Structure 1
């Protein structure tokens, strides 16, 4: 079963993302902040990480930097999940180490297909 870590501080967004993933047979682990995400990554392996960029405390870019600098974690595929939709943002996230970018609000009709396209993309 596909295992996904979702790091999202907005409860409504988290509920929607988790529902869509679980409804499509994926195992979902949820966390609302970056520090907890890094702790979970020390103990568990995931097929994909959906990472909100605007998190309280440690933001998503800092979480991503920690993941990519850790030899035991850097192989994990990370997708930016964010409302940042300015021109150049996608390239910024890819350059920082993400394998992809999903903008919010989510397009429910394409979300699962998009998530599946990122599986193992950056391994």
Structure 2
């Protein structure tokens, strides 16, 4: 499945890597560098899935995930958290916030794409 992916990431190198990988696999992307813009951008873009960094300035990815879960237009959009927080407790906390999947940084390119494809297959399930 291909579709539209909103990528929320403040690190320019990671943002470029994620968008380039997604676009190489047929996805349309919208990059959001500032988490404060993520909700409005997500509503306007209507993504099929979201890639969310957890450690963002100004607002955390966990707060954004919770806000998206509470938004009628976004609550059913699957979210893949991408974070340097890599302990089992961190993953549990991220999933408890509402993330559908979780990938730790530094990412493996294959693992990232596999997680995106799995997320696409679970869309609407």
Q: Sort the TM-score into its range (normalised by shorter chain).
A: over 0.9
TM-score, normalised via structure 1 length: 0.92
The structure with the greater share of residues assigned to helix is: 2
* Counterpart in the other structure of 1:22: 23
Structure 1 segments, 4+ long, off by >4 Å, are: none
Q: Secondary structure at the match of 2:46?
A: coil
Task: Give the root-mean-square deviation of aligned CA atoms.
Answer: 1.4
How far 1:101 moved relative to its partner? 0.2
How far 1:120 moved relative to its partner? 5.4
Instruction: In structure 2, list runs of 5 or more residues that go unmatched.
Output: none
* Counterpart in the other structure of 1:83: 84
How far 1:122 moved relative to its partner? 6.0
How far 1:121 moved relative to its partner? 2.8
CA distance in structure 2 between the aligned counterparts of 1:42 and 1:5, rounded to whole angstroms? 10
Aligned residue pairs: how many? 123
Does structure 2 conserve the Cα–Cα contact (< 8 Å) formed by 1:47 and 1:77?
yes
* Counterpart in the other structure of 1:117: 118
CA distance in structure 2 between the aligned counterparts of 1:22 and 1:72, rounded to whole angstroms? 24
How far 1:35 moved relative to its partner? 1.6
TM-score, normalised via structure 2 length: 0.91
Give matches, 1:33-112, under 5 Å: 33-112=34-113
* Counterpart in the other structure of 1:10: 11
CA distance in structure 2 between the aligned counterparts of 1:121 and 1:99, rounded to whole angstroms? 9
Q: Secondary structure at the match of 1:102?
A: strand
In structure 2, the CA distance between the partners of 1:112 and 1:82, relative to structure 1 (3 Å rule), is same
Instruction: In structure 1, list runs of 5 or more residues that go unmatched.
Output: none
